[in-house]
């Protein structure tokens, strides 16, 4: 348990150092941001599929923003699960990185294959596919050529969760514009943030247990 706490603290400090203090640190975090946004958009796509509608494509813009185009039925379900699903996924990876280390290599392989699948079958632009192939290739290479699979998941998990929490009033804003309920969009913004923080806190408590 003590080692887990030390690793978590160092990863959190590294994230904020890269983001605010180390010159060009944001360039190091840029692939993490792309992975987070990919999972956000895949969340939209996944919940479009399970509500019996289809995904047309997933695309990435030059500024790093992404867009999922799909035909859906239960609109609000598809919209809200972009932000929340990505937080769930990264918390799962974080848990595996600390508590199920033997699974780490297979999980990285699965994640890489998921990006390859999207690049091929939900193709929209060559830029999108090249980015996804590159991210998948780097993850696969690191997994096969190093023994740091668990550490990779730990770093990806904590960096991505911190990014999601900090991005709560920016990233989901475009989704909230289309989220139709009786509550104002800013209320939902805070509800979604509370869900993500609560989920992360619960996950970290489980990680810290012996």
Confidence (pLDDT) at 72: 47
Residues sharing a CB contact under 8 Å with residue 194, sequence separation 6 or more, in sequence order:
none
SS3 5: helix
Q: In the chain, how many domains are there?
A: 1
Confidence (pLDDT) at 38: 82
Query: CA–CA separation, 90 vs 84, rounded Å?
Result: 10
Confidence (pLDDT) at 98: 94
Query: CA–CA separation, 169 vs 76, rounded Å?
Result: 18
Q: Helix 126-145 to helix 104-121 angle, to the nearest 10 degrees?
A: 160
Contact 195, 83 (CB under 8 A): no
Query: CA–CA separation, 196 vs 16, rounded Å?
Result: 19
**3-state secondary structure labels for all residues of 120-143:** HHCCCCHHHHHHHHHHHHHHHHHH
Query: CA–CA separation, 182 vs 76, rounded Å?
Result: 12
Domain interval for residue 94:
2-208
Query: CA–CA separation, 189 vs 48, rounded Å?
Result: 21
Sign of torsion over alpha carbons 42, 45, 47, 52 = negative
Query: CA–CA separation, 34 vs 127, rounded Å?
Result: 13
SS3 169: coil
Locate tokens 């690191």: which residue?
142
Six-digit token string for 130: 């090249």
- What is the chain's pLDDT, residue by residue, as a tens digit (210 residues)? 678 889 999 999 999 999 999 988 888 888 888 887 787 777 777 777 766 666 666 776 555 554 555 554 556 666 666 778 888 889 999 999 999 999 999 999 999 999 999 889 887 778 888 888 999 999 999 988 898 999 999 999 999 999 888 887 765 666 666 665 667 877 888 888 999 999 999 999 999 887
């Amino acid at each position: 348990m003590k080692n887990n706490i030390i690793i978590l603290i160092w990863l959190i400090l590294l994230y904020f150092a890269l983001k605010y203090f180390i010159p060009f640190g944001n360039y190091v975090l840029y692939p993490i941001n792309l992975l987070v946004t990919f999972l956000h958009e895949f969340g939209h796509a996944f919940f479009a599929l399970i509500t019996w509608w289809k995904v047309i494509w997933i695309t990435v813009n030059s500024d790093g923003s992404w867009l999922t185009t799909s035909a859906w039925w239960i609109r609000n379900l598809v919209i809200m699960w972009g932000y929340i699903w990505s937080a769930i996924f990264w918390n799962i990876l974080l848990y595996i990185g600390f508590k199920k280390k033997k699974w780490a290599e297979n999980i990285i392989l699965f994640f890489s294959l998921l990006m390859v699948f999207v690049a091929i079958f939900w193709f929209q632009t060559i830029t999108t596919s090249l980015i996804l192939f590159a991210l998948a290739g780097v993850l696969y290479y690191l997994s096969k050529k190093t023994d740091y699979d668990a550490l990779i998941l730990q770093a990806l998990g904590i960096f991505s969760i911190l990014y999601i929490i900090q991005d709560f009033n920016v990233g989901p804003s475009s989704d909230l514009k289309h989220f139709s309920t009786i509550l104002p969009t800013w209320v939902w913004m805070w509800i979604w943030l509370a869900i993500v923080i609560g989920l992360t806190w619960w996950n970290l408590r489980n990680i810290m247990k012996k």
